[in-house]
Structure 1
Amino acid sequence: MRRYRWRETTVKFILSSLGAAAWLALHAPAAVAQGAPAPQASASSATPIAAMAGQPRDPFFWLGEINKATLVINSEQGLLDPSIAPRLAAGVAKVIADGNASGGKRPASVITFEPLLIKAAGEDVTLLHAGRSSQDMHATYRSAILRDKLLELAEQLHATSMVLVELAARHERTIVPNYTNGVAAQPNSYGHYLLGQAAGLMRDADRIRETYARVDRSPMGTTVLNGTSWPLDRQRMARYLGFEALVDNAYDASQISSMDQPVEVASIVTSVALRAGNFVEDLMTQYAQPRPWILLEEGGGNTYVSSAMPQKRNPGLLNDTRSEASTALTLALGPVVQTHNITPGMSDPKDVKQNSAMVDGGIATLKRWSRVLKALVIRPERALEELNSDWTASQELADVLMRKYRLPFRDGHHFASEVVSYAKANDIKPLDFPYAEARRIYAESMKDSKYGADLPMSEQEFRSTLDPVAIVDNRATSGGPQPAEMQRMLAQARAHLAAQDGWIKARRAHIRDALAQLDRDFDAIAAKAPRP
């Protein structure tokens, strides 16, 4: 009972968090959700299944596909009498057509689907159940549905990554402060910062592909947990349903891997949600400043005016994105908690609607993040002003003294730290720091050093070393923000995105072509059924 109460609570949470429209989108047939009429079927249907386009790929859809594939394979391999196959096919087609009709029943379990088959084709339609169980059939449609959801997540991840990368290209030469421990740390290119964010999302894209390969395996033919005495053609079944491979071990199929899958997908949703939340919080720190260098464009649902304080422009879109990320993170915890302390094979973490809602939470977060990126207003002059008002370039003094004049880094660091302390105590900005004072501080810092007490840098070199733009340009390591490396990394990011787009399209095409072949082979048998 506790498990069902937990699920009821989770459903209520999903309703309140995602909203009615998102919840309905999970349950309503795709054609209806898009405003298109649901396909109708005649009561005596032997209608070709290929003609019934637009149905959602929900549990009912996949139970229909499994029955179609079973009929074709078993009748061709002698496990089902070919002479009755057309009549049974007509019954299967009728159940599917009735379910696709407006208001039609779309049962999500074998035990509620089978009575419809019996009503449409007679008791002997249960001959299709040779060597099958609700265990492997349900495990199969769960994998198929999660496979589709992963592709949806991959598509939105790709779209958001594209926005990040192209924004990075536009701001390749925009020099801004970057922060560590919540404090301005070093100057950087904003494009370089964005490419860093994109690199994280590309790792998530890699994780999706890796997870997809494990989800894209067919459990069909494993029955409950140890197979069957029927010599079922599992490989052909997998091909018809668009799976790339089999779950090899029959016990693993419905007892272990079907519990692993939602937990693994949850880890990807968690990663996406955490990244979005981190990005939003980084932006939110600017809203505490009286003169931020980065903001959201006002209006269009991005910001709203405070009801009491006319000067305030609250970043509503940032708040909504953070909230969306928190919702996705909460939903992603569901499969983890539900898988904890249960015996293998229990249904707790396998709920299709809950796991689909979890992935949809990740997709919604990425969509909001894209909106944030498109709404950003970046002020390069203000960013440079902030850099020049603080000492984020001070490390460069130590670096240049070591690189060019062979001064140990710790000595150079001590000198730079003393310069910063004097400047802050006397309210001196980097561009205004007196060169004479720098020489004095250096002499005091190095009075007992064997390296000499005269600052080896000229005044011009001292000042250029504190220039944020020059610092970025002079970076020499691979992966830095210097122009040559930015061009290389932008090209690399675009190539990665192109490959990811190709992978998504190839996976979708593979499933589409497999199901189309099943339709053709099934329709050929159904067409032989006598017409009333």
Structure 2
Amino acid sequence: MTMNKPVGEHETLLTEARLGTPPSQALIKYHDIPALAREKRQFREFNAVDRAHTVMLAEQGILPPAVAGLILEGLVEIRGMDPETFPMDPMKGSFLLQIESFLFARMSEDVGGQMHTGRSRIDQGATVRRLYKRNRLLAVLDRMNGFRAALIGKAALHSHAIMPGYTHMQQAQPWVFGHYLLSIVSRLDDDFDRLVEAYARVNLNPLGAVGLSGTSWPLDRQRTTELLGFGGLIDNSKLGREAFYAAEAIAALSFVMSTLNDLATDLHIWSSTEFGFVESDDAYCGTSSIFPQKKNPAGLETVKKAAGGATTWLATALATFRAEGTGDQAVRDLPLIDDAFDTVEGVLDLFTGIIETLIVHEKRMRAALDGSWCTASNLADVIVRETGLSFRQVHHAVARLVRIALAEKITPETVTAQLLDRAAEETLGRRLGMDETMLRTALDPDIFVKTRMTVGSVAPSEIDRMVEVARGRLASGLGWHRAENARIATASAKLDAATDAILVAHRQ
């Protein structure tokens, strides 16, 4: 951070007018410098808010045209600067005051100081933070669209890859890998919607709420809303500095990380030697310094590690806000959310590459069903239809059949109707007399998948339908994102045009 001497003979610092001593070195080190580092990330948003407010003041006749023109010239100069090289002196305070200092050096305090007419650092800062979070949310949503597209593509490619399905980590029924991936896509669709809903509450304009009670200046809050591309106004001036929207946004980001963690955990397990269902591409793996044979799924482990901290994001946010009541400005910001945005964006970027290059061993998945009794529930259904017995009665008989078969090392491929009758006699006191061919068919995993008929099942036709549904929801998400970016671009163009109009008039 650049340390500059005060410009001119003497620049009166904001704190000097009220405080008798300058800030301590400890306060500067632990409060001012970290705060400036966070605010510097919002450099573009600061500039947009300053320009929109100045344009509005000029249009309302609050600022003389000559003053507005000089201020906007300085702000346009700032807009073209590199945030990393913008001159800052922590002694001068927050980033708002750094910008004012820059302007004062070019046009004096009596001119540059008029930019702050009709606003407070409270509503100005709140507006900057909302703009910044809006832009970060759009970036996350863009990454989510890319990740959903990768998952849908992989699901369509493996829409007929039969594998064991698990509950309690035990084989439960035959499954399809594409069906599994589509279940993750469906969760991400909900995560996307949650973020869009949070976005709508983030994208509201607090500028003009001032410190608490509004102002006597005739501000046009609708105009700054238009120029900054907000979706609406914070209506109650008391709520101008509220930041609970950040807690909602961070909660939605936590849901995304939870979904990514579940997917990464499953793929991590399935990439173990014992399963061997999937394999990360070499580009997303590491090796061992001692075990020559190992190929470690480092990418998946990185996702899981990042997701661990996400479980505390919302609790931390609410804990930060807990003691403020309704009047404490100090904790209205939530620096944690910047880290959350970085984490989610980065993990989505990493995970998209992992999924796009994921190696799926379909033959290994199907082979895991050899000798499996995970079609036992289907056998029970068939017996119920054939005999009219209750499912609970038949469940007993089939469970006993599996118990006998496992004890006597009999596989589903070699089980006989005679053995089924034995199990039925032990549990129901009667034989079932099932046809041998029907017994074999009922225990066939491939037939199991083909005969599912309910909406959302693993039947090939249902998976194909769900792929199209997922593509439709993705198209909707892509359309929303394009439209929102276009709307914001239009607002930005209006701000530039309004700025240029004032500057042209000023230079004539």
The bucket for the TM-score relative to the shorter chain is: 0.7 to 0.9
User: What residue in structure 1 maps to residue 239 of structure 2?
Assistant: 252
What's the offset of the Cα at 1:173? 0.8
Q: For 2:30 and 2:408, how far apart are their aligned partners in 1?
A: 63
Which residue, 458, 464, 481 being the options, matches 2:435?
458
Question: In the alignment, is residue 205 of structure 1 matched against residue 192 of structure 2?
Answer: yes
Deviation at 1:378, TM superposition (A): 2.2
Q: Using the alignment, how far apart are the partners of 2:75 and 2:390 within structure 1?
A: 81
Q: Among residues 158, 161, 179, which one is paired with 2:148 in the alignment?
A: 161
CA contact (8 A) 1:95 1:120 kept: no
- Give 3-state SS (helix, strand or coil) of 1:373's partner: helix
- State the distance in 2 between where 1:87 and 1:377 align: 61
Rate the CA distance shift 1:105–1:527 in 2: closer, same or farther, 3 A: farther
Name the counterpart of 2:5: none
Any residues of structure 2 matched to 1:84-99 within 5 Å, and which? 84-97=67-80, 99=81
1:206: Cα distance to partner? Answer: 0.4
Partner of 1:188: 175
Cα 1:525/1:27, change in 2 over 3 Å: closer
Aligned: 1:426 with 2:408 = yes
Question: Which one of the candidate residues 255, 260, 280 is aligned to 1:271?
Answer: 255
| 2:121 alignment counterpart | 134
- The alpha carbon displacement at 1:179 in A equals 1.1
Which residue number in structure 2 is paired with residue 77 of structure 1?
Answer: 60
Report the secondary structure of 2:164's partner residue.
strand
Matched, 1:384 2:373: no
Structure 1 gaps, min length 5: 13-23, 29-57, 448-452
Measured in 1, the distance between the counterparts of 2:329 and 2:67 equals 37
Identical columns (%): 29
> How much has 1:349 moved relative to structure 2?
5.6
Instruction: Report deviation, 1:217.
Output: 0.5
- Give the total of aligned pairs: 473
Q: 1:118: Cα distance to partner? A: 2.4
132, 135, 138: which one pairs with 1:151? 138
Comparing 80-89 and 469-478, the one that deviates more: 80-89
Q: Aligned letter for 1:221? A: G
CA positional deviation for 1:101: 7.9
Counterpart in the other structure of 2:14: none
In 1, are the aligned partners of 2:202 and 2:245 still within 8 Å (CA)? yes
Letter in 1 for 2:324: I
- Of residues 212, 218, 224 in structure 1, which corresponds to 2:205? 218
- Partner residue of 1:300 out of 283, 286, 289: 283
Is 1:366 equivalent to 2:348 in the alignment? yes
Alignment of 1:431-450 (within 5 A): 431-447=413-429
Question: Which deviates more, 388-397 or 196-205?
Answer: 388-397
Provide the rounded CA distance (Å) in 2 between the counterparts of 1:457 and 1:493.
41
Aligned to 2:265: 281
User: 5+ unaligned residues in a row in structure 2: which ranges?
Assistant: 1-25
CA distance in 1, matches of 2:88, 2:235: 30
- Distance in structure 1 (CA, Å) of the matches to 2:42 and 2:367: 58
Give the Cα separation in 1 of the matches to 2:286 and 2:172: 28
| Contact 2:246–2:334 (8 Å) recurs in 1 | no
Summarize the Cα distance change of 1:64–1:428 in structure 2 as closer, same or farther, 3 Å threshold: same
Is the CA contact (8 Å cut-off) linking 1:336 and 1:349 kept in structure 2?
no
* 2:166 counterpart SS class: strand
Letter in 1 for 2:447: A
- Name whichever of 516-525 and 74-83 sits farther off: 74-83
The question of whether the paired residues in 2 share the 8 Å contact of 1:95 and 1:117 is answered with: no
CA 1:319 to 1:455, structure 2 compared with 1: closer, same or farther past 3 Å?
Answer: same
389-398 or 132-141, which deviates more = 389-398
How many Å separate the matches in 2 of 1:384 and 1:473?
A: 15
Give yes or no for contact 2:379–2:398 (8 Å, CA) kept in 1. yes
Indicate if the aligned counterparts of 1:72 and 1:521 stay in contact, CA closer than 8 A.
yes
Change (3 A) 1:307 1:116: closer
Give, as a single letter, the amino acid of the residue that structure 2 aligns with 1:77: Q
**Partners of 1:370 and 1:101 in 2: CA distance:** 30
Change (3 A) 1:71 1:303: closer
Give the drift of 1:390. 2.1
Q: 1:300 to 1:95 in 2, by over 3 A?
A: closer
Q: CA deviation at 1:27?
A: 8.8
Label 1:272 to 1:282 Cα distance change in 2 as closer, same or farther (>3 A). same
**2:506 partner SS:** coil
Alpha-carbon distance, 1:289 to partner: 4.6
CA distance in 1, matches of 2:171, 2:286: 26
Indicate the SS of the match to 2:240: helix
1:331–1:357 CA contact under 8 A, matched in 2: no
Q: Which moved more, 1:281-290 or 1:211-220?
A: 281-290
Distance 1:268 1:397, change over 3 A: same
